[in-house]
Amino acid sequence: MKGLLTALIIAALPAAAVAQAPLPVGSITVSAPTDVATLDLGRLKGEPSRLGWSPDHKQIYLQTIEGPFHQPKAIHHYLVDASSGKVTDAPGEPAWFNPYWALKSHKSSPDTPALDIDLTSENRVEKTTNVPRGGDLARGGVDTGTSGSSAGEAIQAAATSQTVSVHTMKLHGQVIGEFVNSVIVPGLTFAWAPAGAKAIAYTDRGGKLMLMSAEGKRQEVAGTKDALLPMWSADAKKLAWLQKDGKKKVVLKVADLR
């Protein structure tokens, strides 16, 4: 009787809660990514700001903004068919998106509330050519040193430098997002995996996509560069992200995790 009762309780739990287990970061096999859609930002208008995957895996929601993140001049909404890559206008955020984004972009892990992203702010001197603009405001990090440069180059760098405000996000000592002369935009450079997976995906200092376990073990997603807005499927078996392709295009990529 006790065994039957246990079986009934398990059957009553949501499927995702039963099936989801911690991801073995470090030994996960990540498939070669599939290009779902190439997005022309000139036509769609603005810069990507939010990305989400519907619970049934059929739709991907993309939000773009015109203007700064803290005070956008315009917000645009799009739906991408996850199978065909067809992009259509949307009247606003889908009903499923708000809880999805809240989990993905939270300061704390959905599994371990004590596992917090560390936020720091500082004023820093950087060369003006290295100060990002527009969609480049968020990055995993930037090399601002002049090691190995000539005296003339060092003088030139000093002459073209300026003080910038830098906000940095770290987890287990790793930079998972950095914002220069901009407000912090949660979720732009990282995504917590669904509850139970105990993992996070983020963009590292070189723009590569990384996976990290709750304990801090890391694994690189091979072949990624200039990655932005990582996101997980509801069952944590797929990972998607945007990857820059020139100045005005981004590619929506999806990879399987095994």
User: Can you tell me the distance from the alpha carbon of 32 to that of 178, in angstroms, rounded to the nearest whole number?
Assistant: 27
Quick check: is 48 in a domain? no
- What are the φ/ψ torsions at residue 167 (nearest 5 degrees)? -110, 125
Confidence of residue 141 (pLDDT cuts 50, 70, 90): very low
Are the CB atoms for 100 and 52 separated by under 8 Å? Answer: yes
Say whether 149 sits in a helix, a strand or coil. Answer: coil
Question: Which pLDDT tens digit goes with each residue over 80-125?
Answer: 999 999 999 999 999 999 999 999 999 999 999 999 999 999 998 8
Domain count, the chain: 1
In a domain, residue 13? The reply is no
**Residue 172: inside a domain, yes or no?**
yes
Q: Is the pLDDT of residue 153 over 60?
A: no
- Please report the pLDDT score of residue 159 as a whole number: 56
The reply to whether 95 falls in a domain is no
Residues, the chain, total? 258
Whether the Cβ atoms of residue 73 and residue 66 lie closer than 8 Å to each other? yes
CA gap 221, 206 in Å, rounded: 12
Range of the domain at 191: 20-40+108-256
Backbone angles phi and psi of 244, in degrees to 5: -65, 140
How far is it, in rounded angstroms, from Cα 47 to Cα 87?
16
Q: What is the pLDDT of residues 207-256, one digit of tens each?
A: 999 999 999 999 999 999 999 999 999 999 999 999 999 888 999 999 99
Are 245 and 35 in contact by the 8 Å Cβ rule? The answer is no
Q: What secondary structure does DSSP assign to 164-191, as a single string?
A: EEEEEEEETTEEEEEEESS---TTSSEE
| Percent of the chain scoring above 70 in pLDDT | 80
- pLDDT for position 145: 38
So what's the pLDDT on residue 243?
97
Q: Where are the alpha helices (DSSP H) in the chain?
A: 2-12, 15-19, 41-44, 97-104, 151-159
CB atoms within 10 A of CB 77: 17
The tokens describing 74, both together, are 């315009």
32 occurs within a structural domain: yes
- The CA distance from 78 to 35, in Å, is 17
- Is 3 among the domain residues? no
Give residue-wise pLDDT tens across range 35-80.
999 999 999 999 999 999 999 999 999 999 999 988 999 999 999 9
pTM, entire model:
0.81
Cα–Cα nearest to 182, from 42, 44, 49: 49
In a domain, 97, yes or no: no
Residue 151 resides in a domain: yes
Residue 150 has pLDDT above 90, yes or no: no
